[in-house]
């Protein structure tokens, strides 16, 4: 249903709305005046807002040729609203922006300029130098930083980005061509980063403004959606199978450790504590070799780096052992938990620690390419 006049636009702006009646006129006005000289269209995706935002969007669509209003019957989440809007976008470049003016429309030309200069995706970042957030409480800050950490952990591609959870960004249409976008919740950029095809990313700092009208839709349920989304993305990008490999390697290490302890003590005649020291180190090394050749094969770049990695992995394992012992001791001594149960918790925490440190430090992701 594209009117002929709209063809030939260079930039499509997608604006998801839910109860943004008071903000919509302002955001449209500011987008329009920021984009003078850039042929653009604005696509509003409303989820049947009870406050009548959808009706208002229709009025704008009637009045302006380059505005479309799309409607979904019920509230299905910010990220999928953007995916819906994408189906109607006709320009080679797309920009996604919230309707509540927390994302300043005046930054769109900068984002678009980065695309024209060759970036596949241009992200408006709160956390790059000169970026920031206005009037956030401690709690929201901590949650936001925690969410960014989880994204780096489970979606390694985002490790070098300062704000992979931004809701304000631009990209070339080709980035998502053929990608099966199927997000739950809010984080559409994360979905595009994992499933899209891209090489070059640019970041543009911005200050995340204060909401003047209405309130945020990022309720408690969104945290749960976010975890669900992360897990899906981990599966799609092979990180779940990496974690399983890591656990299998760990289990093989236990076999090596116990087997060698037995052989060295029974057949070589070493004192059992000496055998234990040797077998612990040998199992660390065999775990290292298997992780290097299997679990993290895609990230073990140079043979020269292997020496560094083996040193790091040893340190990680020592840390894991300490965590294991501290939890075992604390749960048993301070809380009276049966020591075999405490041991299970200790081991689980140590495995988690080992994995986090291995994927973020020893075999840190070092760029797509």
Task: Point out which residues bind ligand GDD (CB under 6 A).
Answer: 16-18, 20, 45-47, 75-78, 81, 98-100, 102, 165-168, 186-187, 208, 216-218
User: With CB cut-offs between 5 and 8 Å by kind, which of ligand GDD, Mn ion, none does residue 223 bind?
Assistant: none
Q: How far apart are CA 90 and CA 202, in angstroms?
A: 23
Cα maximum dimension of the chain: 90
Distance CA 347, CA 336 (A): 18
20 binds Mn ion (CB under 5 A): no
- d(CA 301, CA 305) in angstroms, rounded, equals 7
- Smallest separation (angstroms) from ligand GDD to the CB of 66: 19
- Interactions with Mn ion, residue window 235-274 (CB under 5 A): none
Closest CB to ligand GDD among 46 and 203?
46
> Would you give the DSSP letter of residue 367?
-
Distance of CA 92 to the CA centre of its chain: 25
CB of 119 to Mn ion, least distance (A): 25
Query: What's the token pair of residue 119?
Result: 């970036």
Rounded to a whole number of angstroms, the minimum distance from the CB of residue 26 to ligand GDD is 12
Residue 61: CB minimum distance to Mn ion, A: 23
CB of 18 or CB of 112, closer to ligand GDD: 18
Give dist(CA 30, CA 150) in Å, integer.
Answer: 34
Q: Which residue has the tokens 């020592």?
A: 318
Region of 96-104, 229-237, 278-286, 316-324 interacting with Mn ion (CB under 5 A): 96-104
Q: Which is nearer to ligand GDD, 101 or 176 (CB)?
A: 101
Using CA atoms, how far residue 267 sits from 139, 271, 279, 345, in Å, is 59, 11, 14, 33
Strand ranges, E, within the chain: 11-17, 40-46, 67-71, 93-96, 121-125, 132-133, 169-172, 201-205, 207-208
Residue nearest to ligand GDD (CB): 167
What's the CA gap between 66 and 39, in Å, rounded?
9
Query: In the structure encoding, which two tokens stand for residue 189, read together?
Result: 């950029």
Q: How far is the CB of 44 from ligand GDD (least distance, A)?
A: 9
Backbone angles phi, psi at 122, to 5 degrees: -120, 120
CB of 214 to Mn ion, least distance (A): 8
What is the distance between the alpha carbons of residues 288 and 294, in angstroms, rounded to a whole number? 10
120 binds Mn ion per the rule CB under 5 A = no
User: Quick one: which H or E segment has residue 63?
Assistant: helix 53-63
Least separation in angstroms between residue 191's CB and ligand GDD is: 11
Q: How far is the CB of 346 from ligand GDD (least distance, A)?
A: 36
Q: State which residue, 171 or 186, has the beta carbon closest to ligand GDD.
A: 186
Cβ closest to ligand GDD, residue 131 vs residue 250: 131
Is 100 a binder of Mn ion (CB under 5 A)?
A: yes
In the list Mn ion, ligand GDD, none, the entry touching 34 (Cβ below 5 to 8 angstroms by class) is none
DSSP string for 279-324: HHHHHHHHHHHHIIIIITGGG---HHHHHHHHHHHHHHHHHHHHHH
Q: Which does 43 bind (CB under 5 to 8 A by kind): ligand GDD, Mn ion, none?
A: none
Closest to ligand GDD by CB, 11 vs 45, is: 45
- Choose among Mn ion, ligand GDD, none what residue 295 binds, the Cβ cut-off being 5 to 8 Å by kind: none
| Closer by beta carbon to ligand GDD, 218 or else 310 | 218
- Closest to ligand GDD by CB, 133 vs 289, is 133
Quick one: what does residue 186 bind among Mn ion, ligand GDD, none, with the CB cut-off 5 to 8 Å set by partner type?
ligand GDD
What angle, 0 to 180 degrees and rounded to 10, lies between the N-to-C axes of helices 239-266 and 339-357? Answer: 120
Residues that bind Mn ion (CB under 5 A): 100, 102
């Amino acid at each position: 249903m594209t009117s002929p006049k709209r063809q030939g636009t260079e930039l499509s702006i997608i604006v998801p709305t839910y109860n943004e009646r008071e903000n919509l006129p302002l955001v449209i006005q500011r987008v329009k005046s920021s984009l003078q000289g850039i042929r653009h269209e604005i696509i509003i995706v409303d989820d049947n807002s009870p406050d009548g935002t959808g009706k208002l969007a229709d009025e704008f669509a009637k009045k302006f040729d380059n505005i479309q209003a799309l409607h979904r019957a019920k509230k299905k989440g910010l990220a999928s609203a953007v995916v819906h809007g994408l189906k109607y976008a006709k320009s080679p470049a797309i920009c996604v922006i919230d309707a509540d003016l927390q994302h300043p429309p005046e930054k769109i030309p900068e984002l678009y300029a980065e695309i024209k200069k060759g970036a596949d995706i241009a992200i408006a970042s709160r956390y790059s130098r000169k970026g920031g957030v206005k009037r956030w409480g401690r709690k929201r800050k901590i949650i936001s930083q925690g969410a960014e950490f989880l994204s780096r952990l489970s979606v390694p591609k985002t490790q070098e980005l300062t704000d992979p959870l931004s809701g304000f960004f631009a990209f070339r249409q080709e980035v998502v061509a053929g990608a099966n976008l199927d997000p739950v919740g809010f984080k559409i950029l994360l979905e595009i980063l994992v499933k899209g095809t891209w090489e070059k990313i640019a970041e543009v700092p911005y200050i995340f403004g204060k909401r003047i009208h209405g309130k945020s839709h990022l309720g408690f349920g969104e945290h749960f959606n976010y975890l669900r989304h992360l897990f899906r993305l981990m599966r799609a990008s092979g990180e779940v199978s990496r974690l399983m490999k890591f656990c299998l390697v760990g289990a093989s290490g236990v076999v090596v450790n116990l087997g060698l302890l037995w052989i060295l003590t029974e057949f070589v005649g070493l004192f059992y504590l000496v055998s234990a020291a040797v077998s612990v180190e040998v199992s660390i090394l065999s775990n290292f070799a298997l992780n290097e050749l299997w679990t993290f094969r895609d990230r073990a770049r140079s043979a020269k780096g292997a020496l560094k990695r083996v040193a790091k992995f040893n340190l990680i394992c020592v840390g894991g052992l300490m965590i294991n012992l501290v939890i075992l001791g604390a749960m048993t001594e301070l809380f009276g938990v049966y020591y075999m149960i405490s041991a299970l918790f200790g081991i689980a925490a140590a495995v988690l620690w080992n994995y986090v440190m291995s994927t973020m430090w020893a075999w840190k992701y070092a760029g797509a390419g």
